[in-house]
Amino acid sequence: MPTKGSRVWVLRPSEGWRRGTVAGAEGGGGLRVLLDCDQLGEAAGPEITVSAAAVEPANPVLLDGVRDLTHLSYLNEPGILHVLRQRYSGDAVYTMAGPVLVAVNPFKPLPLYGAAAARLYSQRSLGSQAAAAVGEEGWEPHVFLTADRAFKQMVAFQQSQSVLITGESGAGKTETTKIVMRYLAQLAGGTGMEDRVLETNPILEAFGNAKTIHNNNSSRFGKLIEIYFNRSHSICGALIHTYLLEKSRVVHQQPDERSYHIFYQLCRGATEEERRRYLLPASLEEFAYLSGSGCTHIPGVDDAAEFQRVKAAMAAVGISPEQQGELFAVLAAVLWLGNVQFVPLHDDAVTVDGASMPAVAAAAALLQCEQGALLAALTTRQMVAGGEQITRELGMEAALDNRDALSKAIYAAAFRWLVDRINAALTVGARRGETTTLSILDIYGFECFKENSFEQLCINFANERLQQQARHSSGFSKHMFRLEQEVYESESIDWAHVEFVDNQECVDLIEARPPAGVGILSLLDEECMMPKGSDSTFAAKLQQQQAAHPRFSYNTRAPGDDFTIQHYAGPVVYSCTKFLDKNRDTLSKDLVALLQASSAPLVQLLAAEMERGQERRGSQTVGARFRDQLRDLIQRLDATALHFVRCIKPNSQQVAGSFDAPLILHQLRCCGVLEVARIARAGYPTRYLHAEFAARYKHLLPELGPGPLPVGVSVLDVCRQVLAHFGVDESQYQIGRTRLFFRAGVLGHLEDVAARMQHAALLIQSTWRMARCRRAFLAARAAAVTVQAHWRGRRGRQEFAELLRRHRAAVRIQAAARGCAQRKRYRRALAGVMAIQMAWRRHVLQERAAGRLQERRKREDSLRAVAEAKRQEQETFEAVQRDFGVDAGEIRRVLGLWQEHSEAFMQWRQQPPAAQLPARSASSQPPAADDSGLLLEIAAASADAQQQQQRMEGLQIYAHKLERTVDDLREENQLLRRALHTLQAKAEAVGDPAAAAAAAAVLATSAGTQKRRPSHAADAAAHVSLSTGSPAGSSGLPPRPPAFAIAADGTSRPGSGSTGRPGSARPSPLAVPGSGDCSDDGSDSISLMSLNDGDDDSVATGTATPTAASLAAQRNDAAMVVRSLERDLNKKQSLFDDDADFIREVRTGQAEAPGMHPDVEFKRLLMRYKDWKKQFRDRLGSTQKVLKQLAKDEKRAAGLGISVGGSLRRSPTPSMRPLSPSLGGVPALARTGSQEGAGGALGGTGSSSGKHSIFARFGTRRG
């Protein structure tokens, strides 16, 4: 009875357990309790009155975060729940309950599983295990601690171990299993097999796990993983046992659940090539097997990435890519089978719906079987009656069941094949007779859904058997809890009796067999053997025979197909629907035969496995097989030392940080954690036979040591001496008749001492062996060093002698080579110096000779120029004297006057005509009156001289035309001679002497003509040169540029000269070919000139008064120029087209032209065209300017009333026109060269033969 001030737990119906303080007692056994407002009890809450039965004592606050529940002062449900809550809030998810590890699922990643934590727990000594189990040495509870204890007990005692990981669905069993496997791989790895063992987890999860309403990664099968260790305690293999795969999940899932992960991973993670290969649609929603539950996605899970991980894991365990492809094709075929729908033909017959034919075709293609055979197997069944084979059509329900049975059978066979391949890869090199094992059991947890069927009955039955095993074996060397009390009583051990709830009744209800009784599985097997057995008859028999069982119940008011079993974790309602079909698990032979006829190797293997399974099972049902598998599992566990991990699910929402106290308390009650803690604290879990204890610890006594016991010393005396020597408290152990019993953790000190002594002995032994071996090693090493030194010395001397010989030989060779190279370099340098000297002397001599020759030529040119000037001057004087009757002295006097008064005279000329007349005013006196008459005479003589000069310029232009004509004819003659030479060579090559002789005659004739032509051109040039004056002019007038100079270079710069050579003079832009000796159309060549005398710019400025005659003449001249430009453009266009056509013919092979490169000739033609285009554009511009000026003059004439009659017409005569008064005495028209001169402007400058070689190939004249 709690007293005032005691800390207690109060059970509140709506709030659960609340902590408070007893305020006092009430009458009738009641208590007044002051509740705490928070968990720390720092604030007072309301005061309530409760009965003493609703109150449990509370532990001190110091024990709130205790690591082991057995250390609590008051071991009750609220105390355990409070400790778990406190540790869970601090991310300490592991708590010990005696030998059992309680693991609360955090639903979030925690930094508890790194390499550092694994190394910390792996460094524990074996002797500290028992103490670590109860936290006496400060080891934090961890799944690594349980795995390490199991491994080191296996190593110490050479006994196989088992780790049982149990809990409800979603409690974290699968993750805990993977953590244990990773720790064992790190602890006992090194062979490479541990990597393969770890790679099995992604494969088995993908093919055996699915999402349920309780767990996103629920195991839908049970597995026992046996890990084999060799004599050096390294992993050498593994073996996986599977139990009861939930095949029905392939074809049906409850709402908000999914099928197996692999289907979604395949549909989302396959590449485009794989999608085409497996005929996968764009969305997995098109598969009826996957979209029926309405859930296809798990938050936070990437199915595509998981698929790649699964493929990598399959490759790691030896499944080739080809086999993976066949397996995925089978899975895709299963999905396509789910899309096959049927339509009724009549009451007892169906056929495949037309809309489902693509699904049938896809399934047949993936299974590589005949489409017709698949249709027949799905809608009919072959039967043998009276020795005859009968085909029976299936109804709608039978056809759907037949389709689903095929899908389930294919998937189950594929899963078994996959497990067999994994086992084949993991058991390589593992021999059971020479190895120990550490088994890890991960089996489905207790399940209770809205609809519970045959699978849930089997799963919960397995959990009942494991719960019974756990309760009977927690913390003891024997695994039957009931025998513990008998052992204590037989050994006369005082032990507090612990009551517990046994679930043997529930186990018997399910698995009992005659004559002990008839359980549910036996009754189900019996009903399956009945010809007319059904789910309803099975439910009726079950209700009739099990109605009186305390764990069985059903609704008596409305009996149906449902019944209820009171499991250790609570009541579960089961529906008998399809119990018989699932228990029979039969497959039509037609479907097996269909798969056997497939051409796919994997499908054939699966069909053979199905056939062997049916033959092996015979009439055995699924329930009977599972019962036998479970019995075999229990026997395997009984043969090993057990270690328990109880996984707890903190909330149903699967979120981190939420602690649902009622749910956790329900799980604690179901798994019996409270009973386990009480048994561990009240009992004696550690026990030894007297002889075993003495043999294990007698060497710790100084007076005994190893070896047999002395005479007269009993085993029990040795045990008592050991206990007394180490001061073990008598309350911590009891001595029985044959055994010693110890409480948990008592032998930790003895184990530590034994471990230290063993370590010291091993250290001494190893040191002695090391010293002995080291002495032998040092002696052997000294001898080896001596031998090696002598051998290396001898070999070194030999190598040195050889090296010295080679060195001397190399020195001689190098000296000779260097001498030879130096001599060669010297001779090359000497020759180079001599060549440079010779070249330099030659250069100096040439420069001297050239300088002297140049000086001599300059002197000769100077003398010739002086003589020519004198001659021209004398000729000019004579001509003037002859023409004007003026003597030389008078001319020299006039030139002197001109030099003195030329500036004033030019200013006077620029004045208007009226201003040029002398003023009649008496006051106005002309300057230099004595010389006025003389100036007038000079002006008249100047006009005559200008006319004579113009005539000379015309003759000189004509001489230039003749020179260009001669050059062009000479060039054409050379081209023709080349063509004749080529023709003569070809004629001689082909053997045609007549053609060769004709070509030679023509060549001889042309040679004679060529010798006579230059003389005519020379005479013409000489005639013109005699008619032209020097730059100083012999007329005594100031020097002025001749007219042909302006026409030659195309500019209007006054004073510019000309060399008079045809090859260097450029025609005026307005020079238009029209007539001449070489003209084709017989027209004259004319040019518009806008020249004025001296500084007279009356034409440019338009100040002179135009006349009707001058304007008409200018219009006619302009029309002639325009027509000439048009003829020139047409002619040049024709010439360029002919050149381009011939180059194209040579390039395409249509014509032959030896020595001509078409690309080079085309570039030259393009350059000539560009030059002609530029010059022609300049001529057009100049012509446009003159026409504009003409338009201005006409406009001015119209303003002055001058009528310009007629229209633009060609002048009838191309001769030199008379001087025009309006132009100040400058001729408006002048001859500017022949057609050849224009051709030079259009086709290039000069008459170089290199630029016109193409015309010889054309065979045409150059324009």
Q: What is the pLDDT of residues 529-570, one digit of tens each?
A: 888 888 899 998 988 888 889 999 988 887 788 999 998 778
Length of the chain: 1263
For residues 977 and 1009, is the Cβ–Cβ distance under 8 A?
Answer: no
Residue 39's pLDDT is 52
Residue 298's SS3 state is: coil
Please tell me which residue, 345 or 1231, carries the higher pLDDT value: 345
**Is pLDDT above 70 for 1217?**
no
Q: Provide the pLDDT confidence category of residue 432 given band limits of 50, 70 and 90.
A: low
Indicate whether 491 and 379 sit together in one domain: no
40: domain CATH number is: 2.30.30
Q: Please tell me the predicted confidence (pLDDT) of residue 1251.
A: 36
Structure tokens at 544: 């009739």
CA pair distance 268, 459, nearest whole angstrom: 31
User: Of 742, 771, 790, which residue sits at a domain end?
Assistant: 742
Q: What is the average pLDDT across 113-135?
A: 66
Residue 1011 predicted with pLDDT over 70:
no
CATH number of domain containing 651: 3.40.850.10
Domain membership flag for residue 677: yes
Backbone angles phi, psi at 1122, to 5 degrees: -65, -45
What per-residue confidence (pLDDT) applies to 449? Answer: 79
Same domain, 384 and 476: no
Domain of 490, CATH number, reads 1.20.58.530
Which pLDDT score is estimated for 35?
84
For residues 1228 and 1206, membership in a common domain is answered with yes
Identify the residue with better confidence: 260 or 12.
260
Considering the domain architecture, whether residues 437 and 564 belong to the same structural domain is answered as no
pLDDT for position 259: 95
**Are 1176 and 1030 found together in one domain?**
yes
Same domain membership, residue 631 and residue 621: no
Better-scored residue on pLDDT, 171 or 1014: 171
Name the residue with higher pLDDT: 1036 or 806.
Answer: 806
Between residues 902 and 701, the one the model is more confident about: 701
Say yes or no: 938 and 971 in one domain: yes
Q: Is the dihedral of CA 1042, 1045, 1050, 1051 positive or negative?
A: negative
Q: pLDDT over 90 for what percent of the chain? A: 26
d(CA 936, CA 932): 6
> Quick one: pLDDT at residue 37?
74
Judged by average pLDDT, the poorest of 279-283, 447-451, 917-921 is: 917-921
CA separation, residue 951 to residues 877, 1037, 1229 (Å): 18, 17, 12
What integer pLDDT is reported at residue 941 of this predicted model? 60
Q: Quick one: pLDDT at residue 769?
A: 94
Q: Give the pLDDT mean for 473-478.
A: 39
For 489-502, what is each residue's pLDDT tens digit?
777 777 665 555 67
CA–CA dist 809, 657 (Å, integer): 88
Return d(Cα 416, Cα 247) in angstroms, integer.
12
- Same domain flag for 293 and 215: yes
Q: Does 1066 have pLDDT greater than 80?
A: no
Whether the CB-CB separation of 677 and 69 falls below 8 Å is answered with: yes
Q: What is the pLDDT of residue 233?
A: 84
Whether residue 913 is contained in a domain is answered as no
For residue 901, pLDDT beyond 80? no
Quick check: 1232 pLDDT over 90? Answer: no
Flag whether pLDDT at 881 surpasses 90.
Answer: no
Given a cut of 70, whether residue 476 has pLDDT beyond it is no
Residue 610 falls within a domain, yes or no? no
Q: What angle do CA 452, 453, 455 make, to 5 degrees?
A: 110
383 vs 823: which has the higher pLDDT: 823
pLDDT over 60 (residue 644) = yes
> Among 230-239, 349-358, 690-699, 703-712, whose mean pLDDT is lowest?
703-712
With respect to residue 161, please indicate whether it lies within any of the assigned structural domains.
yes
Q: What Cα–Cα distance (Å) separates residue 202 from each residue in 166, 177, 1030?
A: 20, 12, 113
State how far Cα 1013 lies from the chain centre. Answer: 83
User: In terms of Cα–Cα distance, which of 343, 401, 424 is closest to 581?
Assistant: 401
- Residues in the annotated binding site for ATP: 167-174
The pLDDT value given to residue 819? 95
- The owner of tokens 């649609």 is 281
Backbone angles phi, psi at 168, to 5 degrees: -75, 170
The gap from C-alpha 207 to its chain's centroid, in whole angstroms, comes to 31
The conformation of residue 531, written as its DSSP 8-state character, comes to T
Q: Are residues 965 and 859 in the same domain?
A: no
Q: Which of 618, 595, 598 has its CA nearest to residue 409? A: 595
Is pLDDT larger for residue 743 or for residue 511? 511
User: Which of 210-214, 719-723, 1034-1038 has the least mean pLDDT?
Assistant: 1034-1038
In angstroms, the CA 943 to CA 1094 distance is 13
- Looking at residue 1076, its pLDDT comes to 38
Mean pLDDT of 642-655: 89
- Tell me the catalytic residues: 169-170, 174, 215, 218-219, 445, 447
Give how many domains the chain has, as a whole number.
6
Which of these ranges, 319-333, 933-947, 1086-1100, 1132-1146, has the smallest mean pLDDT? 1086-1100
Taking the C-alpha atoms of 372, 406, 262 and 301 in order, what is their torsion angle to the nearest 10 degrees? 110
d(CA 898, CA 894): 6
Q: What is the mean pLDDT of residues 396-414?
A: 92
Q: Residue 116 domain-assigned?
A: yes
Lowest mean per-residue pLDDT among 143-152, 167-176, 998-1007, 1100-1109? 1100-1109
Give a yes or no: residue 790 inside a domain.
yes
Q: Looking at the structure, do residues 732 and 778 belong to the same domain, yes or no? A: no
Find the range with the poorest average confidence among 306-310, 569-573, 586-590, 916-920.
Answer: 916-920
pLDDT at 1013 (0 to 100)? 45
pLDDT at 134: 37
Mean pLDDT calculated for residue range 330-358: 92
Residue 337 located in a structural domain: yes
**Hey, what are 669's tokens?**
């009650």
> Does residue 576 sit in the same domain as residue 471?
yes
For residue 917, the model assigns a pLDDT of: 54
- Domain limits at 34? 7-58
Helix segments in 25-172, DSSP class H:
77-89, 115-122, 129-133, 143-157
**More reliable by pLDDT, 55 or 807:** 807
Report d(CA 371, CA 379) in Å as an integer: 13
End-of-domain residue from the set 877, 897, 920: 877
Residues 6+ apart with CB under 8 A from 421: 317, 318, 319, 323
How much is the average pLDDT of 323-337? 95
Contact yes or no for 90/111 (Cβ under 8 A) = no
Is 912 part of a structural domain of the chain? no
Q: Are strands 161-167 and 436-442 parallel, antiparallel or unpaired?
A: parallel
Asked if residue 719 and residue 856 are part of one domain, the reply reads no
Which residues belong to the annotated binding site? 167-174
Q: Which of 405-414, 669-678, 947-956 has the highest mean pLDDT?
A: 405-414
Higher-confidence residue of 718 and 1231: namely 718
List, for residues 184-201, the tens digit of each pLDDT value. Answer: 988 887 677 778 888 889
pLDDT digits (tens, 9 = 90+) for 812-862: 999 999 999 999 999 999 999 999 999 999 999 999 999 999 999 999 999
Q: What does the buried/exposed string (b/e) look like for 1205-1227 if buried means 16 or more CB atoms within 10 Å of the residue's CB?
A: eeeeebeeebeeeebbebbbebb
Task: Give the pLDDT confidence of 250-288 residue by residue, as tens digits.
Answer: 999 988 999 999 999 999 999 999 999 999 999 999 999
DSSP 995-1030: HHHHHHHHHHHHHHHHHHHHHHHHHHHHHHHHHS--
| pLDDT computed for residue 803 by the predictor | 95
Per-residue pLDDT at 400? 92
Give the number of other Cβ atoms within 10 Å of residue 1060's Cβ.
19
The CATH number of whichever domain residue 720 belongs to comes to 3.30.70.1590
Q: Which residue has the higher pLDDT, 220 or 493?
A: 220
Mean pLDDT of 307-318: 93
Last residue of a domain, one of 836, 861, 877: 877
Is the pLDDT at 699 greater than 90? The verdict is no
Mean pLDDT in residue range 413-442:
83
